[in-house]
Structure 1
Amino acid sequence: MSTVEQLAAIDRLRARPLPAARGGPSRGAEGGPGFHLADLRVSEEFWEDDGSRMREAEEQFEAECEALVVLLSRRWGEPRVLDLTEHLIRSAEGEAVPEPLATLCGCVGVLYAWGAGGRWLAVGLGRQGRELPLRLLAVVAEEDPETPDREDRDGRGSPETRG
């Protein structure tokens, strides 16, 4: 998928109604309550690789992600960079992590996020294991999952009261 096609896929995600419940893949996207998640590109698997194909794929996917970040930044301004490591640790310790970050933190290290026309939009690179495919993905949500008042609505309290 070209960068133009990737941008069009992101625009289609932004335009679609958001699901009320968790759903499986459909029309190239999956999602959960209030968000869509779509693979914009998926690499091959790397089971029989000596590391060279994986390095080449990583470089290509990083370049494609950077190009998307530049183009999306032209539309929506500079992105907020989210390191999902803290969310992965919280999830592993049994703490609640808001969606879609809970879904993403097991495979994505960093997201580039924007407020985009009344929705929250993020792109990033993911992989669930060294031999498994790389994924260039996009997520569109109803609202920023790290908004403090969302935590109040989710019943977890504000950051100050969670302790």
Structure 2
Amino acid sequence: MDIARHIALIDELCFRPFPAEHDHHLVVLSGSHGLRGGGDPAERAVTVDQYEKERDAVDARLTERWGESEILNLLTVLLRTERAEAIPEPWTELSARARLAYLWEVAGTGRWVALAVADRDATDEVQLLAAVTEEAPP
């Protein structure tokens, strides 16, 4: 768990220009290895727990800086996409991969930061994700 490295990357993304092809950054802060394809359910549960603790540690540091995070229930966003509602990225991808996101609107940047543990797909790796976007959460 390298919280300082995660914070430094998130800080950088708050000011880095967006790629030409889309208006957000989505990065993997930590990722499992060997859980793709189902893997051992007990090992997966331990990994999810580890990444949730890592997310909470990053949340604590960012809360000191930016104030209390908001929690976005990504299940409701996923349901909205399934009803063919137009949900912008990165929110569509986050809702397909994670259950909830911790959010901050970063003062003075016009950007939003989201942290999420991507564990929705049991056949994929578990990941701690950070997204930075100018697109407000849906």
TM-score (norm 1): 0.76
Alignment of 1:19-98 (within 5 A): 19-21=19-21, 32=22, 34-46=23-35, 47=37, 49-98=39-88
Name which of 112, 124, 129 aligns with 1:132. 124
> Structure 1: 5+ residue runs without aligned partners?
22-31, 147-163
Shift of 1:50: 3.5
For residues 62-97 of structure 1, the C-alpha deviation after alignment (integer angstroms, 9 at most, x for no partner) is 110110111111110001100011111111121211
Deviations 1:86-144 (A, max 9, x none): 11111112121122211211011101000113211111111352132111010111242
Alpha-carbon distance between aligned partners in 2 of 1:58 and 1:140, rounded to the nearest angstrom: 22
Count of aligned positions: 135
Does the 8 A contact of 1:45 with 1:132 survive in 2?
Answer: no
Letter in 1 for 2:137: P
Q: 1:50 to 1:121 in 2, by over 3 A?
A: closer
**1:5 to 2:1 alignment:** no
Contact 1:36–1:140 (8 Å) recurs in 2: yes
SS in structure 2 at match of 1:106: helix
Tell me by how many angstroms 1:48 deviates.
6.6
Q: Give the superposition deviation at 1:20.
A: 4.0
- Structure 1 vs Structure 2 CA RMSD: 1.7
> Is the 1:18–1:142 contact (alpha carbons within 8 Å) kept by the matching residues of 2?
no
Question: Is the contact made by 2:38 and 2:124 (CA closer than 8 Å) also made in structure 1?
Answer: no
Letter in 2 for 1:12: E
For 1:123, the aligned partner's letter is L
Normalising by structure 2, we get a TM-score of: 0.88
In structure 2, list runs of 5 or more residues that go unmatched.
none
Residues 84 and 105 in structure 1, CA contact (< 8 A), matched pair in contact too:
yes
Distance in 1 of aligned mates of 2:133 and 2:88 = 11
Kindly name which structure, 1 or 2, has the bigger radius of gyration based on alpha carbons: 1
Please state whether the residue corresponding to 1:105 is helix, strand or coil.
helix
**Seq. identity, %:** 33
Counterpart Cα distance in 1 of 2:132 and 2:85: 23
